[in-house]
Amino acid sequence: MKRSFQKQPNIVLIGFMGTGKSSVGKRLSAQLRMRYVDIDTVIERQSQRPITDIFDEDGEEVFRQLESEAVKKVSNYANHVISTGGGVVLRETNVSRLKENGVVFCLTATPEEILKRVGHHTHRPLLQTPDPMNTIRTLLAERKPYYDKADYMIHTTGRTYDEIISHIKGIFYRNALRRKSPDRKSSR
């Protein structure tokens, strides 16, 4: 990855629901003394409603529009760890904006692990279906080409937070700050 950033670069975490973007992002920002921002939280604050209400009352398209506006704002930040909602990749402009001043890491997990992590949650409108496992598999397959646009893939299944975080830190420092040769799409 050869990209020169105008400002101190961000670490951007994308990936499916339940892959650990928020948990990893918060820990990572604390360790690196970077600020942390979660796009879903920006949307909720801005619209003063929980995401489930936005989906229920206005539908997914309105949510996606609010999400794009939040991405536009946050992409201008510097030296932040940014975690995103799982569907942020669906609009290509979101990813290109986030890449302007950020290194984009896609967290991945197996469908079984995702179900274990989020299956009992009720705040993810897209998974409130009769067969969440099937929904997870379908959405993962549909979204794969979009997640593949990340700079790096980071597997999380069977790994501790410490392992995941030191993997991301290693890549970020090596490639983003010291601007050395890439190990693009590294997965372990």
Q: Which residues, including other chains, have CB under 8 Å from residue 160's CB and lie 6 or more apart?
A: none
124, 149, 155, 159: residue in contact with ligand S3P (rule CB under 6 A): 124
Question: What's the token pair of residue 115?
Answer: 């179900």
> Which window, 27-35, 82-90, 151-159, 165-173, contacts ligand S3P (CB under 6 A)?
82-90
Lay out the site mask for ligand S3P across 125-164 (x = CB under 6 A, - = otherwise): xx--------------------------------------
CA atoms within 13 A on the CB side of 136: 21
CA end-to-end distance (rounded Å), the chain: 17
- In the complex, what is the shortest distance from the CB of residue 87 to ligand S3P, in angstroms, rounded to a whole number? 3
Q: Can residue 37 be called a binding residue for ligand S3P (CB under 6 A)?
A: no
Q: Which stretch binds ligand S3P (CB under 6 A): 68-76, 104-112, 124-132, 151-159?
A: 124-132
Is 111 a binding residue for ligand S3P by CB under 6 A? The answer is no
CB 155 within 8 A of CB 187: yes
CB neighbourhood size of 91 (10 A)? 16
- DSSP letter at 2 equals -
The footprint of ligand S3P (CB under 6 A) covers 17, 21, 40, 51, 85-87, 124-126
